[in-house]
Amino acid sequence: MSDPGTPVTGTINLQTSAASDTDSYVAQVQFQRSPAGTGSWTNVGSADTTSPYSVSWDTTAVADGLYDLRVITTDNVGNTSTSVTRPRGR
C-alpha cells in the first residue's frame, strides 16, 4: 500500500500498485482499517477490480486515533494475500 502520510485527515485516497498474480490474475483488492492493535478489520469502501487499485476513505467518519491499514488481494481462483499492516494516525 502506498503511504497515505500521517496524520491522515479528511477524505484520502488509499492505493496499491503491488497487487499482482501472474498465474490467476487479480480479481479484486479490498482495503481495510482497524483501530491500532485490535485486529478488528472493517472494509474501506468496495473492493476494487481494476488496476491501479484504490479507494477513497472519509476519515471524518471514524474516531480520532491510530489505525492499522491493510490490503487483501484475491485472485481469480479465490487465493488471497494480505499486505503488511501500516499503522497511521487520524
Tell me: pLDDT of 90 over 60.
no
Q: What is the pLDDT of residue 3?
A: 75
Domain borders along the chain are: 11-84
pLDDT confidence of residue 24: 65
Chain CA centroid to CA 23, Å: 23
Q: Contact 12/79 with Cβ under 8 angstroms?
A: no
Instruction: Please tell me what DSSP assigns to residue 17.
Output: S
DSSP H or E run through 49: none
pLDDT for position 51: 85
pLDDT tens-digit map of 1-20 = 777 777 788 999 999 876 66
Q: What is the pLDDT of residue 46?
A: 94
In this predicted model, which residue has the larger pLDDT, 76 or 21?
76
Mean pLDDT for 27-46 is 94
